[in-house]
Structure 1
Amino acid sequence: MYLPAHFAEERPQALHDLIATHPLGALVTQGPSGLDANHLPFELDPAAGSHGLLRAHVARNNPLWQELQDGAGVLVVFQAEQGYISPNWYPSKHETHKQVPTWNYRVVHVHGRLCIHDDERYVRGLVARLTRAHEARAQEPRPWKMTDSDSGYIDGMLKSIVGIEVEISRMVGKFKLSQNKEMRDRQGMVEQLQARGQDALAEAAQQTLPKG
């Protein structure tokens, strides 16, 4: 990933927070059939291993877990807010006419090694944790849990999936939010995003502005 210094995000907590709030990652692999990508909701455990772990599961019918061996190098891409930025939103454009369109976004690339867990206990624990986390996020008054369903049905569903783990070797964050522009242009962009209801992207850009 091309990464100019002014867009580089190196704070571990900021990278972890993006993954936690946008957990659907694109798992990119290189197998016998070439490049492939699987989109999976991941659990991040930042305290595990040297640099943290990502955990997820795939369908047993998915060839990924049979075509790749433990230790295979993989990349997981997490994307947060993104959107088009018009040159008209920069005050300086109307004076110099030297601005062009761009696209702003926040992404984290996680590099690591794959480990397969074809183990019912592992999968059951993972699914239980993922369910608790996302039912809480959905603000369900009565959060769904596995014991709400027939035990035989759940056992059968768990047998149809396989656990995977990515041992993180490094994370690369790119928060491209017009940090290379004049302060007035950055503020003008934030105001225009807010006016268009793109509050998440506006808030992300606002966080890059000097405080006070």
Structure 2
Amino acid sequence: MVDYAGAAVGTAFGGLFELVKHLVETVAAFRGQLKKIRTTLGDIEPIIKDIDKYNRQLKRGPKEMAPIKDLLEEGKALVDRCSKIQALNLGTRYTHSKKLTDFNAAVVEKFQLYMPLLNARDEKEILVDVKEIRGEVKEVKDLLISAIWYSAVFQGGPEALGDLSVPAAPDFVVRSEVEASTTSSKLSKVEMSEVAIEGEAVHEISTMDSQQLM
């Protein structure tokens, strides 16, 4: 089974978040720092869910999200140690409190700087995929229209073409074209112009063939 990036990050995040929520209630010595971390994790939880969703769809590998995953796992180790430090050990408490504060700041910084870059990259790749789909749909539509025209010419002669009105595309082509047309509303007009020109060419060729046979 492929370990997608979102799944790896989601697992690390879930383990950390559950531990923080538990220790906030049970470890008084670090409650202030743990509450801040809990708030930060609560704020980024929707982002983690989106990472899980989109990285599965885009089939991202685990390596590119490794920095975030590693940070969350380091944070879990820091938070887990809170339950092992004695309340009266003031020096260790102070040092560990600072580490927790630094970790919280690192999480905020990572998601403020790193995630927008990943999102921008993903959006560009999605646009490329949409453009490729549009091209494939256009090729299918052109092939279907050509097949219909040539079938009419060979089976019924030039008269079968009538006024060369463009036949309606099958439902699945229409649905696909509508889904792919969100980035440009002008493509249909260009396609219709190309179809009209191609139709005129077919009509002229068919007429010439009929005249030669007479």
Higher relative contact order (CA 8 A, sep 6+): 1
Q: Which has the larger radius of gyration?
A: 2
Where is the helix percentage greater, Structure 1 or Structure 2? 2
TM-score (norm 2): 0.22
Where is the strand percentage greater, Structure 1 or Structure 2? 1
TM-score (norm 1): 0.22
